Amino acid sequence: EVQLVQSGAEVKKPGESLKISCKGSGYSFTSYWIGWVRQMPGKGLEWMGIIYPGDSDTRYSPSFQGQVTISADKSISTAYLQWSSLKASDTAMYYCARLAGAGIAAAHFDYWGQGTLVTVSS
């Protein structure tokens, strides 16, 4: 069974750093892209970027390029989303999700993590 299990909720202060995780199981972690999606309180879904754990190839949405870093450690089947300096506006639920396959024709999400709530407040 494919599962994506995310790390727990975080409460941080502005300016602090943070790294949240998404652990995949039940499939070949290195063979599928993993993406991150932001959902601000009461708002819609925003595609942030994706990583291919096999070779760490990464694509970012221009809206998030330079604001976050997506990485992966294939030895432990885990993808990460990190911030070097959080802002209050980073307060949101963050979901990881698996792309169904390689190539643009399969670049749709099929499995989702449960979400990680990040709260940034002074």
Partner 1 sequence: DIQMTQSPSSLSASVGDRVTITCRASQGISNYLAWFQQKPGKAPKSLIYAASSLQSGVPSKFSGSGSGTDFTLTISSLQPEDFATYYCQQYNSYPLTFGPGTKVDIK
- Interface residues with partner 1 (CB under 8 A) are 35, 37, 44-47, 49, 59-63, 95, 97, 100, 104-105, 107-115
Q: How far is the CB of 19 from partner 1 (least distance, A)?
A: 20
Q: How far is the CB of 15 from partner 1 (least distance, A)?
A: 27
Q: How far is the CB of 108 from partner 1 (least distance, A)?
A: 4
CB 84 within 8 A of CB 58: no
Q: Please give the Cα distance from 47 to 35 (Å, whole number).
A: 8
- Between residues 46 and 73, which has the closer beta carbon with respect to partner 1? 46
CB 31 within 8 A of CB 77: no
- Between residues 25 and 63, which has the closer beta carbon with respect to partner 1? 63
Q: Do the bridges between strand 92-99 and strand 109-112 make them parallel or antiparallel, or are there none, so unpaired? A: antiparallel
Sequence-ordered alpha helix ranges (H) in the chain = none
- Between residues 28 and 114, which has the closer beta carbon with respect to partner 1? 114
- Between residues 24 and 113, which has the closer beta carbon with respect to partner 1? 113
Q: Please give the Cα distance from 62 to 55 (Å, whole number).
A: 21
Q: How far is the CB of 110 from partner 1 (least distance, A)?
A: 5
Q: Please give the Cα distance from 68 to 48 (Å, whole number).
A: 9
